[in-house]
Chain A
Amino acid sequence: MSVEAIATALIAAAILTSMPLMLAAVGEAIAERAGLLNLGIEGSMLCAGFASFWLTLKTDSVTLGLLIGAAVGLAIGLVFGTLATVLNANQVVLGLGVTLAGTGGTAFLFREVYGSDQPLLSGGPGRPFEGWFDWLPVIGPAIGDQRWFVFVAWFMVLAGHLFLVRTPSGLQLRAAGESPFGLEAVGGNVTMVRIGAAAIGGVFYGFGGAALAVVELGFFSPGSTAGAGFLAVALAMLGRLSPLRVALFTLAFGLLTGLDIGLQIAGVDARPEFLRMLPYAGIVIGLVALGRGVRMPRALGQAYGGISSRR
């Protein structure tokens, strides 16, 4: 294999493997912009992944599987948003609870439904753009090689970005995180806006978890997200909660993760466990390099008690 072919393969793999993580991180960025710190992504992704895997296996339709995953994510997002606003639940505790329940619940259900079997999906979504970008060296074939849902995912990221920075609803959403009192003072409903943001975030986590199972891996197994939900929180913070920047950082993270395979191909002698910790260390270093002095939404993680609670 030529160096170019290896580079193309690594980039193609990075685009695919970073896509579920990117959806989750962008969803988290949107929720955090509204003031909701959701640590339940891992649990949401697992629930969505299990549901989509189950339905895809049953109906043989990846599209249906992805949609049910999004629906599950939406439902969990609505529950999270409602508990965090109407009941003023502590967001961190709530999120950790969702993650614990989702991890345990999907493992429990998986064993109930499949016993000790590990069913696999055959095939996957098609690759409609194969060969379209071959005029671009190295990167072109890597893009053209992707399955159709990868393009949908990037479209969602773009749409999310434009929604957040260009639409009145996006402005309301950001106000709910930056200045909830101000939002209420101009007639906005902080509770409803935050529930909406949690729901949008939930759809992103749901698609992310579903895509991980039925697009990237082709199977679901208990704990198969392997911490992607928590990584998403870190990447959202690294990208300063701007969806487009978060997506690009996630892609860069995917390339960094793929590098260990590249290094092994290149004959570098290092244990895989050692290489595996580099991306996480990279995130910590990135947080220091980029995160210092960055202001998060002022009301992030705080319950909103209504304008009458203001002193």
Chain B
Amino acid sequence: MNAVPVTSGERTRHDTPGADTALASLLESLLAIALAIAIAGLILIIAGHDPLNVFPQLVDRTLLRSAGLEEVLVRTTPLLLAGLAVLIAAKAGLWNIGVDGQVLVGALAAAVVGGWLVDASRPVLWAGAMLAAIVGGAVWTIVPALFRAFWEINEIVTTIMFNYIAISMSAWLVKGPLRDQTLVAPQTPLIPPELRFVGLGDTRVHIGLVFAVAIWIAASFWLHRSVAGLEVRAVGESPRAARHAMIPVTVVLAVALVASGGLAGVVGGNDVLSTKGTFQAEWYPGYGLSAFALVFLARRHVLALLPAALFLGMLAYGADVMPRAAGIHSAFFALFEGILLIVLAAFRWRPWRRKSGGHR
């Protein structure tokens, strides 16, 4: 689906050559991946590894074995949600670089509420913890959202600052007031495995993936088939034009950023309810920058998020399995994602070019 509909073959100024059809976007993304593989391969050769061994190994371990594929899908779940969070803000022209902090607060809220509800039934626990995660992530973006919407204080800086506040605050809470005193390590009470997300069949993949895909579909409809979604996209394309169209720009900006934070909170809730079962001090998954790589690999198309999330899920599991399989340190995959982001940025493509000469 095109983010910017092109009517009667005429190109508006917001379009960028090459990005106006889904096929062109797909080709661009594939080209970017190929370029990133070439650059990363060169680095591997310099470091004394054989890329013709490393990359086939990566595909074999992650995609060609059922155990690997299951792990890839497990890692795709939070990435898809984090990508959605970044994308919804991006559609409004906002940069939510605070996804990591919102994930932490969402996870902490889910772990605490989940810990209270261990005596309730499973659906109640899931709903309560997830609701807490959404609220936690949303609350964590309220201050940056209000500052951005009403005082034009750059959300990039405030969301980053809230990341660091979240890291320290969650560590302080888990080591202090919220600590489960019966456990040795500083963490919240453990949610027993039988109360966590159920697996799909006999696999390691859990129902969180189903929830994430459902949220993804709902968000696609919301963005492209609802008035609110149209308003968000209009504000992102041109705040001034949106204001002339009587769209309450301030409200839309604030709501988009808070919604983005709520979605990021879901990422944390999913991690707690599926793989973690608790919130440990100093836990820092760091999905934020990967989510940016994901959104730009998807060329900001909401429907392309799922395949892009699968690709990054593959890299995420590769970072876990490749140190043992091929002696490649996990940091190599962060390097690869970074190169991919640089390549994607270097393609001529400027969706967030401001026409109004705004605050940035």
Interface string of A76-98 (1 = CB under 8 A from B): 00000001000111101110111
Q: Which residues of A contact B163 (CB under 8 A)?
A: 230
Contact of B171 with A by CB under 8 A: yes
Query: Are B172's CB and A273's CB within 8 A?
Result: yes
In the complex where A274-B168, A277-B169 touch, is A105 in contact with B353 (Cβ < 8 A)? no
Interface string of A138-181 (1 = CB under 8 A from B): 00000000000000000000000000000000000000000000
CB distance from A73 to the nearest CB of B (A): 16
In the complex where A271-B175, A280-B164 touch, is A93 in contact with B360 (Cβ < 8 A)? no
Contact of A283 with B by CB under 8 A: yes
Contact of A256 with B by CB under 8 A: no
Query: Are B161's CB and A89's CB within 8 A?
Result: no
Interface residues of B, dominant DSSP: helix
CB distance from A256 to the nearest CB of B (A): 13
Closest to B355 in A: A311
In the complex where A112-B329, A234-B157, A298-B357 touch, is A97 in contact with B169 (Cβ < 8 A)? no
> Which of A3-11, A123-131, A241-249, A287-295 touches B?
A287-295
Interface string of A271-305 (1 = CB under 8 A from B): 10110110011011001100111001011111100
Contact of B335 with A by CB under 8 A: yes
CB distance from B172 to the nearest CB of A (A): 4
Q: Which of A83, A94, A271, A277 gathers most chain B CB within 10 Å?
A: A277
A260-B36 Cα distance, complex, nearest whole Å: 43
CB distance from A293 to the nearest CB of B (A): 8
Closest to B344 in A: A93
Q: Which of B157, B175, B289 gathers most chain A CB within 10 Å?
A: B157
Contact of B215 with A by CB under 8 A: no
CB distance from B157 to the nearest CB of A (A): 5
How extensive is the interface on chain B, given as a class? 35 or more
Query: Are A92's CB and B172's CB within 8 A?
Result: no
CB distance from B124 to the nearest CB of A (A): 32
In the complex where A222-B331, A301-B360 touch, is A237 in contact with B157 (Cβ < 8 A)? yes
Q: Which residues of B contact A299 (CB under 8 A)?
A: 357
Name A93's contact: one of B161, B168, B345, B348 (CB within 8 Å): B345
Contact of B104 with A by CB under 8 A: no
In the complex where A83-B346, A96-B97, A104-B331 touch, is A284 in contact with B143 (Cβ < 8 A)? yes
In the complex where A83-B346, A100-B293 touch, is A287 in contact with B153 (Cβ < 8 A)? yes
Q: Which residues of B contact A112 (CB under 8 A)?
A: 47-48, 329
Q: Which residues of B contact A101 (CB under 8 A)?
A: 334-335, 337-339, 341-342
Query: Are B161's CB and A234's CB within 8 A?
Result: yes
How extensive is the interface on chain A, given as a class? 35 or more
A103-B289 Cα distance, complex, nearest whole Å: 11
Interface string of A49-79 (1 = CB under 8 A from B): 0000000000000000000000000000000
In the complex where A107-B334, A108-B335 touch, is A96 in contact with B289 (Cβ < 8 A)? yes
B residues adjacent to A (C-beta < 8 A)? 43, 47-48, 95, 97, 143, 147, 151, 153-154, 156-158, 160-165, 167-169, 171-172, 175-176, 289, 292-293, 296, 329, 331-354, 357, 359-360
Q: Which 5 A-B pairs have the closest CB atoms?
A: A101-B338, A104-B334, A97-B341, A100-B338, A107-B331
18 A–B contact pairs at CB < 8 A? A89-B346, A90-B345, A93-B345, A94-B345, A97-B345, A100-B289, A100-B338, A101-B339, A105-B334, A108-B332, A230-B160, A273-B168, A273-B169, A274-B169, A274-B176, A277-B165, A277-B167, A300-B360
User: Told that A100-B334, A101-B335, A296-B360 touch, could you supply 14 new A-B pairs with CB distance under 8 A?
Assistant: A83-B345, A90-B352, A93-B296, A100-B293, A100-B335, A102-B338, A104-B333, A105-B335, A108-B334, A222-B331, A271-B175, A284-B162, A288-B151, A301-B354
A residues adjacent to B (C-beta < 8 A)? 37, 39, 43, 83, 87-90, 92-94, 96-105, 107-109, 111-112, 222, 227, 230-231, 233-234, 237, 271, 273-274, 276-277, 280-281, 283-284, 287-288, 291-293, 296, 298-303
